[in-house]
Amino acid sequence: MAGRRLSLANPRSISISKPLLLLLSLFSLLALFLLISPKIPTTNPNRTTIAPIRYFPSALDEFLSSSNPICSATSSSVQLNDPFISRREKERLYGTLSDPWAGSRVLQVYVYEMPSKFTCDLLKLFRDTYKETANLTSNGSPVHRLIEQHSIDYWLWRDLIAPESERLLKNVRRVYRQEEADLFYIPFFTTISFFLLEKQECKALYREALKWVTDQPAWKRSEGRDHILPVHHPWSFKSVRRFMKKAIWLLPDMDNTGNWYKPGEVCLTKDVILPYVPNVKLCDTKCLLETRPKRTTLLFFRGRLKRNAGGKIRSKLGAVLNGADGVIIEEGTVGEGGRELAQHGMRRSVFCLSPAGDTPSSARLFDAIVSGCIPVVISDEVEVPFEGLLRYNRMVLFINSSDAVQPGWLLKYLRGIDSTKIREMQTDLAEYSRHFLYSSPALPLGPEDLTWRMIAGKLTSINQCIARSTHMEQGPRFECTCKAGNNTRVRASL
């Protein structure tokens, strides 16, 4: 009898092998999934999140109390020994074969290591005298509060010199060789020296700083065009800054009246407007929700009513608005008590008046923004920070001075804005406030970040002017200097 063969078509044999094949298929799919699936990074339980410091005295005290070598080193030399960091810097600057334009996305900044009398000694002087808030300027403003308002030089410098591992900004990087630099940062605290040193001592220090900087080979090569000079207070460096007018000035505004800046010194072509440091604390999302039903004041102002130049508009506004229903107009300064009163008033108001001061700008604009109070700017010549990056008409009202001083006009205009529009502007204030809060560490989309973005936009024209100066006579056709009358423009879109 012939042997029996198992037929593949045997129904019984198929019923046994199908579950086995299915099981093997499932195991195969599972193994394949484990091989190709991305690995989930594990969180380091020992790493803690450090909240940014936004209060200048606190940030300064933390900085000076730390082991940072900048203010404790006995030698001014800094060495870059890590070859991997050096190679990474070159790749960022010059790009790579695969991405030759990579370097164009990161600004390379060389920070001058100036003698401590221009830097750390002045910071220590501020810290050690900070509690002497009775020290007032001629117009009654507390000196140390004014220094805080204009402390942009500290915040930018602090971020640049921080270890790269601690920095959060990726659009700017400190380099340690001048030949690799796009820009040169001058870390001289001109506002502290102006307010806290005796007049003649301050002028002597200004002259020393001028000589120190202008003797640098990089300055001579470009005539200072690629150098960044923080002079945020209009009195800062005033006695000698005309000799550095080709540098990039960091300013509170342009002031085309001629009271502070002479014709040909400042213009939007080369300079950058930076926001004041707010005097009041941030009203965050929780605060905004809590204060929204409490905003029963229509229009609020607290400050000095008698000012010079364009600031004379303040006394006119006070005469027109004082005593009106829903309006609070108070005389005051930014002292400790004044700070609390201003913060309370702004958080109880829908609109906050921000007229011109001695210069076209006012710190009150930024106090209002971080307080969730819609700013009403009455200053026909004001330049606002980061214009072109930020849309101010979403959160700020710009009013012509001639309209604002007409009896009844301003209040009628404000009362005519519907509640939906007010709610939208308040929401935008909450979103935009982060652009005006300096901090350590500097945060992405903060004012430090936007400052470098604005400067990056000028870099091509700066390099063009440096190149042209080597072969072209600097006459009327040179087009690389500020001219009288070209520092402002009409804000038609707002």
Q: Using one digit for the tens of pLDDT, what is the confidence trace for 149-194?
A: 999 999 999 999 999 999 999 999 999 999 999 999 999 999 999 9
Residue among 367, 317, 314 nearest 338 (CA) = 367
- Is 175:365 a contact under the CB 8 Å cutoff? no
Radius of gyration, CA atoms only, the chain: 29
Q: What is the pLDDT of residue 473?
A: 65
pLDDT of 50 above 80: no
**Packing angle of the helix pair 120-129, 56-65 (nearest 10 deg):** 120
Q: Average pLDDT over the chain, rounded to whole? A: 82
Q: Are 205 and 191 in contact (CB under 8 A)?
A: no
Return the pLDDT at 477.
Answer: 58
Rounded distance between C-alpha atoms, residue 170 and residue 235, angstroms: 33
Counting every residue, how long is the chain?
494
State which amino acid sits at residue 59: A
Strands across the sheet containing 297-303: 327-331, 297-303, 349-355, 374-378, 397-398
pTM for this model (two decimals): 0.79
| The predicted structure's pLDDT at residue 485 | 53
What is the CA 83 to chain-centroid distance, rounded? 32
Q: What's the average model confidence in pLDDT over 114-138?
A: 84
For the segment 471-490, the average pLDDT, to the nearest whole number, is 61
The per-residue pLDDT for 80 is 37
Q: Has residue 490 got a pLDDT over 90?
A: no
Under the banding of pLDDT at 50, 70 and 90, the label for residue 10 is very low
Tell me which H or E stretch contains 284.
none
Burial class (CB in 10 A: 0-12, 13-18, 19+), 452: buried
Q: Which of 490, 449, 487, 488 is nearest to 245 (CA)?
A: 487
Kind and range of the H or E run holding 478: none
Average pLDDT over residues 48-63: 80
Rounded to whole angstroms, the Cα distance separating 198 from 445 reads 38
- Residues 222, 179: contact at Cβ < 8 Å? no
Instruction: Report the pLDDT value the prediction gives residue 390, as an integer from 0 to 100.
Output: 93
pLDDT mean over 372-383 = 91
Q: Which residues contact 410 (CB under 8 A, 6 or more apart)?
A: 299, 320, 321, 376, 399, 403, 404
Name which of 6-15, 43-52, 137-146 the model is least confident about. Answer: 6-15
Beta strands in 67-131 (DSSP E): 107-111
